[in-house]
Structure 1
Amino acid sequence: MNKKLAAALSSGAVLVLALTGCSGSEDNKELDAWAKKVCDLVPAQNKKITAAYDAITKAAEDTESTPAELQKADSQAFQDLSDGYKARATVIQSAGAPPGAEGGAKNLQDAVKQLTALSAAYADMKTQVDGLDTKDQAKFASGLKDVSAQMKKVETQRQTALDALKKLESGDTKQALAEQSGCKQVSASPSASSTDS
């Protein structure tokens, strides 16, 4: 049953803040300073989120683990995902709207709203996993099936958050972010390439 959960997670992979690009920006010191604020914290957040997805996938593929061990691994991973996306929302909120970006304030609000909702969805997933009956194998398997179904709904939220981030990082903002070393690290990571779609 846990393999369905792993498949759902694999299809979602990692939301890499969509802060990647390849070309340089025009000379805009305010926008560059904004991009630096955001990108300085991206590698640590990305590492935490990537590790959480990896932990869930590993637990799902581990046929030797007991239900209690699976529950513990999934619970911690969902907590880490919730914390990671909440941290991303906080970073973007703190940085404010990208200077000079058309519709920047609205795009910022949308991205923060979607990341916050995604964080809450993962917190709900943790609660759902924590409530599974690990003493009854059949009930546990049934509960995991429900978690897997919920994960598909969360994937829709993840995609919505990704779309909001892409909108926030368009135009000159995307170019400014691409020049920052923190965002370059994210775009160079193996997990980044699997999540840009």
Structure 2
Amino acid sequence: MNKKCAAALSGGAVLVMALSGCTSDDDDNKVDDWAKSVCDQVQPQLKKISDANTSIQKQTADNSRPADVQRTDSAAFQQISDAYRAMGAAVEKAGAPPVEGGEATQKAAAKELKESSTAYAGLKKQVDGLDTKDQAKFADGLKGVAEELSEISKSGDQALQKLQSGEVGKAMAKQPGCQKPGATNSASPSSKT
């Protein structure tokens, strides 16, 4: 059950890490400045998401007790929720990117990041409510959390894809702050069965 949860969490983190998906030599200073202002705020949040994912993977590998799994997952979901909220605030604070349709793109991306934050906070609440004294109930509850997590990670990433497209995406791809943290490879934990 926990491996499914870790795999889905990894998928959610990939949604945000996708900001580094494009490359280009375009040197529009205004767009680069905008991208830098966002990416400088995004990098610490990407690290928090990566660290949360690592903590879930570690406790999955350790075959931890239900109470430990609950504690770890709850803390990880809170950390991810906070990170998404901070990224949404960074996108809002940066203002509209200086490109055609920039304001709509910025608002959509900020809204989606905040919705992701709310969704992860909901998962934390759901994990906190699981019965850790009954192994079977806990496993069933965790399965439900994993399924919901999978839906969250699949849900509308169109705003972020739009944000990372065109000139803005090219500028963001050049910013170190929008690169994946550490050298955490993109192999999902689902490959560990």
TM bucket (normalised to shorter chain) is 0.7 to 0.9
Distance 1:129 1:169 in 2: 32
Alignment of 1:44-123 (within 5 A): 44-63=44-63, 65-99=64-98, 101-123=99-121
- Higher mean Cα deviation, 29-38 or 65-74? 29-38
1:145-172 CA-partner distances (Å, limit 9, x unpaired): 2111211221222xx23x3112113222
State the Cα RMSD in Å.
2.2
Distance 1:7 1:188 in 2: 19
5+ residue gaps, structure 2: 189-193
Distance 1:68 1:173 in 2: 44
Contact kept in structure 2, 1:13 and 1:191, CA below 8 Å: no
Distance 1:77 1:188 in 2: 18
1:102-140 CA-partner distances (Å, limit 9, x unpaired): 211111111111111111000000000001111122221
Contact kept in structure 2, 1:125 and 1:147, CA below 8 Å: yes
Matching residue's letter, 1:54: T
Distance 1:53 1:9 in 2: 6
Matching residue of 1:176: 171
Distance 1:21 1:174 in 2: 6
The percent of aligned pairs where both chains have the same amino acid is 48
Matching residue's letter, 2:23: C
Aligned length: 187
Distance 1:171 1:150 in 2: 32
Distance 2:66 2:6 in 1: 15
Contact kept in structure 2, 1:9 and 1:57, CA below 8 Å: no
Alignment of 1:114-153 (within 5 A): 114-153=112-151
Secondary structure of the residue aligned to 2:19 is: coil
